[in-house]
Amino acid sequence: MAQIFKSNMNSLMRVGIILGVVTLGLTGGALFELGADSQYATRQGEAREQPIPFSHTHHVGSMGIDCRYCHTTVENSSYANVPPTKTCMNCHSQIWSDSPTLEPVRASYRTNESIRWTKVHDLPDFVYFNHSIHVKKGVGCETCHGRVDKMPLMYQNASLEMRWCLDCHRAPEKYLRPRSEITTMGYTPKEDQEVLGARLVKEYEVQKLETCYTCHR
């Protein structure tokens, strides 16, 4: 009986195996790359569950309360604080003061126990980020956090990936706005953004910081 496989099949098989491994590797790599960038991995656009269904749409959108009324530290500190229960009670001691939805707020105030809010914008711990310097240089809340006045439940508007940070760090003039408009939602520049941006870069002395140790320190 004749051989089914001729001797040259040996080398053919070797080439086939190598090709197979390479293809598998490439496919795996591509899938990982796609997966790591996916909204599933970055959790972009995913509303998080909170102990109280706090609505920014209501407080910012329809009441017009400025971001800084609650997030008081944003201009002076690296972080924009989640407000203490007392800030809620400034108004809710009188308004909606018997609403069952707000019972956790009142309970927190009575017992002095913190409300455990879920952090939505959670950067990796090896990234240093400072809110105050961004606000001082003319980066609006909306530029990173999106239309918060249209978020019934808070979600992460941007991917928060490094390339997203770098987009702005490489060309800040595309995104800057006057300091007086920092907390404005739905801001549109009154003049050409290129002209305005270039002027603000000069006026606020904005640097293009792209070194690793700007953020990884």
Interface characters, 56-75, with other proteins (x: CB under 8 A):
-------xxxx-xx--x---
Identify the CA nearest to 138 among candidates 192, 210, 202, 213: 202
Coil, strand or helix at 64: coil
Of residues 111-150, which lie at the interface with other proteins (CB under 8 A)?
112-114, 116, 124-126
Min. distance of Cβ 72 from other proteins in angstroms?
A: 5
Interface characters, 161-180, with other proteins (x: CB under 8 A):
-------------------x
Binding status of residue 102 toward other proteins by CB under 8 A: no
Coil, strand or helix at 97: coil
Tokens standing for residue 12: 């053919």
Nearer to other proteins, 129 or 155 (CB): 129
Binding status of residue 77 toward other proteins by CB under 8 A: yes
Min. distance of Cβ 199 from other proteins in angstroms?
A: 20
Binding status of residue 81 toward other proteins by CB under 8 A: yes
Binding status of residue 87 toward other proteins by CB under 8 A: yes
Count other C-beta atoms under 10 Å from residue 73's C-beta: 15
Of residues 191-210, which lie at the interface with other proteins (CB under 8 A)?
none
Identify the CA nearest to 79 among candidates 44, 112, 46, 122: 122
Amino acid letter at 174?
Answer: K
Options 23, 38, 39, 90; binder of other proteins; rule CB under 8 A: 90
Identify the CA nearest to 58 among candidates 163, 144, 147, 152: 152
User: Residue 105 — left, alpha, or beta (φ > 0 → left; ψ -120 to 50 → alpha)?
Assistant: alpha
Nearer to other proteins, 81 or 101 (CB): 81
Amino acid letter at 107?
Answer: A
Nearer to other proteins, 66 or 194 (CB): 66
Q: Report whether 205 contacts 158 (CB < 8 A).
A: no
Interface ranges with other proteins (CB under 8 A): 63-66, 68-69, 72, 77-79, 81-82, 84, 86-87, 89-91, 93-95, 112-114, 116, 124-126, 180
